[in-house]
Amino acid sequence: MAMMDRFRSLLRRFAGDTRGSVAVEFVIVMPFLFWAFMATYVYFDGYRQSAQNLKAAFSIGDMISRETQAIDDDYLDSMEAVLRLMTRSDMPIKLMVTVVRWDEDDDRYYVDWSESRGFDAARTNADMADIAADLPVMPDNERVILIETEASYEPVFDIGLGTRSIENFVFTRPRFAPQVVWSDS
């Protein structure tokens, strides 16, 4: 029995001893704090990248909406370069510019022209039914310039988020001309 009393006494003394508890708590809590810091940084960086992509899409839409001359391949290539510059992304980026017209008699949207850089194909009239709910309400024969961008975001730290696709879908009315035209020449 003396052995058991001695063991209980040692156990009580160990339970009441607080020396070294800060170091043990630090070892237990530090990985969680470090992960939380990295996760906060990754989420902020992802939000920053998303905001840059959205601002770039609106800027491209604004530049195209002010054009009074025909848009051509060189112009669209330069818009892709602007997108890459504004997003500061080394990842692949995609850009699609579509001029969409509303026809009240047919009660549907039509594509005047569509060109893409990086996407598999440009928009066609058949695609309009799929995105009609995302387009604005427009008067008869009104046109909008639809800018679609897509970029990949790869987090700096692996916190379980993985690579994400940032997609934007913005539209702008032509400002100085009734429509923006495409020129193949």
| Domain locations in the chain as residue ranges | 21-172
Looking at residue 107, what DSSP letter applies? T
Reported confidence tier of residue 20, pLDDT bands at 50, 70, 90: low
Task: Tell me the pLDDT tens digit for each residue of 100-159.
Answer: 999 999 999 999 999 999 898 888 888 888 899 999 999 999 999 999 999 988 888 888
CB count in 10 Å sphere of residue 114: 20
CA dihedral 133, 43, 94, 137 (to 10 degrees): 20
Which among 167, 179, 168, 175 has a CA at the least distance from the CA of 100?
179
Helix/strand/coil for 82: helix
Reported confidence tier of residue 176, pLDDT bands at 50, 70, 90: confident
Reported confidence tier of residue 160, pLDDT bands at 50, 70, 90: confident
Reported confidence tier of residue 185, pLDDT bands at 50, 70, 90: low
